[in-house]
Amino acid sequence: MAASANLNGPLDADPVPTGSTAGSGAPEPSGPAVNKGTESRLQKLAKRNLWMHFTRMGSYEDHEVPVIVRGEGCYVYDEHGRRYLDGLSALYCVNVGHGRAELADAAAAQARELGFYTNWSYAHPKAIELAARVADLAPGNLNRVFFTSGGSEAVESAWKLAKAYHAERGEPRRHKIVSRNLAYHGTSMGALTATALTPLRVPFEPLTPGGVQVPNTNSYRWQEDRDELWAADAIEEAIEFQGPETVAAVILEPVQNGGGCFVPQDGYFQRVREICDRHGVLLISDEVICSWGRLGYWFGSERYDYLPDIITTAKGISSAYVPLGAMIAGDHIAEPFLHGKVAFNHGFTFGGHPVACAVALANIDVIERERLCANVLANEGALRGMLESLRDLPIVGDVRGAGYFHAIELVKDKDGKETFNAEESEDLLRGFLSGELYRRGLICRTDDRGDPIVQLSPPLIAGPEQFEEIEAILRPVLSEASERMERWSSLSRA
Ligand SMILES: Cc1ncc(COP(=O)(O)O)c(C=O)c1O
């Protein structure tokens, strides 16, 4: 949005644009203030014809659209040739980094051989090979792979499969899905029902019936005397309240993105697994972000040692060089659909596109050959240490996350954990931080869907050199943000 490079303080900040998607949590970087006379052709066309996702497009009336034209390793370049450290892996996607010729070559070779064939009743070699490779890497008996074009489709598919599975087993009333507050599971109507972010849901109601929300694992905001596993137990309460015979599945991320990298408490997933088993409810692990090395393991569920019935994935499976997602189902879930005339009546034309599957195979080769999971495990401590070192700044309230997926929560008062109100948060994130970080060459996410956070999720090839660069930008910018908010507070007290 209208994040500006204006450093003059709250009273001089850009006016809040109207028609906003406040609370959408869009990363909303923005380029410098626009000079209409010298605007590039791309700028003009972007503003005239491109409908940007989750974006207050009005913000670009007087600011440049950040147009990223090229990438190399951990860095991307804009249309003016400026270099940015991609601390967000292009929205948690580009796990192997930018500019991998081998992935481009895999796409070209596949397009030449077989540009497209579908997986509806037919199959093609790359989908078969990728399904086998994914099954081999996936934990436990998760051996059946249903491809999609992205994460929302994977979540949509998992919920539909959960319903279809229960129906095949004589429990057709099981249709509800339990998800956690502030969780993001996608935007198609089914996935949106699991997405527990009010500003994203309310404009599109009524949603698909059957969404049930439970607390998340944000212990930073818990009373100190809470039982460590109360959030897991709240899932059981919700299932019992709804009537277990109506609940199809619980969907959880290993580390929850929405709200800022909420990690599970020790034993959380084991307790959830027990609860699901006790009530005949399926456990879906939404690993659209947390797989393919993001947490230092092929799958995030391995890090926390639980076995889901279904995993949903996307993004890092192909490092997003082409769109691809998947739902990986346990053998016991696929079993009712493997005999006689039964079919899972669901599909997407492009699910398992041959070019996407070829790229994903090449991508997995890179993750394996370069031991990127091991790189994350070896260096996550350095990333965490760098972020922890920022705790001396008055605005840094909490640091949390795992692997290469971390967030800093920004607070108004560290001791009381007081958060910023909506107006302050708007000024802090959009009036200052987002634009200033970008201007200084760091792409990361500022987000206030929950309490305000700055989130980092660098490519898995990153290491101490990049962490130093991140700190060299984050520290002065957060320090300036602290002062700015302090001035704001004293002005409002005056
Ligand atoms: C956990 C999770 N699930 C689902 C989705 C939706 O994926 P997509 O945007 O590819 O539809 C996302 C997107 O960020 C996600 O983070």
Q: pLDDT tens across 39-70, in order?
A: 999 999 999 999 999 999 998 988 999 999 99
Q: Tell me, what's the pLDDT at 28?
A: 52
Q: How far is CA 23 from CA 62, 410, 454, in A?
A: 22, 16, 14
Q: Pick from 352, 369, 386: which residue ends a domain? A: 369
pLDDT at 14: 31
Report pLDDT for 490. Answer: 81
Over the stretch 108-139, which tens digit does the pLDDT of each residue have? Answer: 999 999 999 999 999 999 999 999 999 999 99
Quick one: pLDDT band at residue 34, thresholds 50, 70, 90?
confident
In testing the pocket of ligand 1, which one of 288, 310, 327 has its CB within 8 Å of the most ligand atoms? 288
Within-domain flag for 1: no
Residues 147 and 199 in one domain: yes
Check residue 26 and give its pLDDT.
46
Residue 208: what are its φ and ψ, rounded to 5°?
Answer: -60, 130
Q: How confident is the model at residue 29 (pLDDT cuts 50, 70, 90)?
A: low
The answer to whether residue 51 sits within a structural domain is no
pLDDT at 38: 85
Position 390 scores a pLDDT of 98
- Of 94, 147, 184, best ligand 1 pocket probe by most atoms within 8 Å of the beta carbon: 184
- Paired tokens of 132: 């086998």
Tell whether ligand 1 has an atom less than 6 A from the beta carbon of residue 155: yes
Residue 155 CA: nearest ligand 1 atom is 4
- pTM for the full model? 0.94
Task: Please say which residue of 369, 386, 407 terminates a domain.
Answer: 369
Question: Does residue 229 register a pLDDT over 60?
Answer: yes
How confident is residue 489, by pLDDT bands cut at 50, 70 and 90? confident
Q: Is 296 in the pocket of ligand 1 (CB under 6 A)?
A: no
Judge if 180 and 319 occupy the same domain.
yes
Any atom of ligand 1 within 6 Å of the Cβ of 93: no
Ligand 1 site, residue 150, Cβ cutoff 6 A: yes
Gap from CA of 314 to ligand 1 centroid (Å): 8
Last residue of a domain, one of 369, 392, 416: 369
Is the CB of 271 inside a 6 Å radius of any atom of ligand 1?
no
In percent, the amount of the chain with pLDDT more than 70 equals 94
* 302 and 274 inside one domain: yes
Give the separation between CA 468 and CA 472, rounded to whole angstroms: 6
Q: Write out pLDDT tens, residues 371-391.
A: 999 999 999 999 999 999 999
Residue 353 falls within a domain, yes or no? yes
- Cα–Cα distance list, 101 to 278, 313, 352 (Å): 49, 24, 22
Ligand 1 in contact with 404 (CB < 6 A)?
no
CATH code of residue 466: 3.90.1150.10
CATH number of the domain residue 357 falls in: 3.40.640.10
For the segment 465-478, what is each residue's pLDDT rounded down to a tens digit?
A: 999 999 999 999 99
* Mean pLDDT value across residues 204-222: 97
**pLDDT at residue 1 greater than cutoff 70:** no
Range of the domain at 189: 101-369
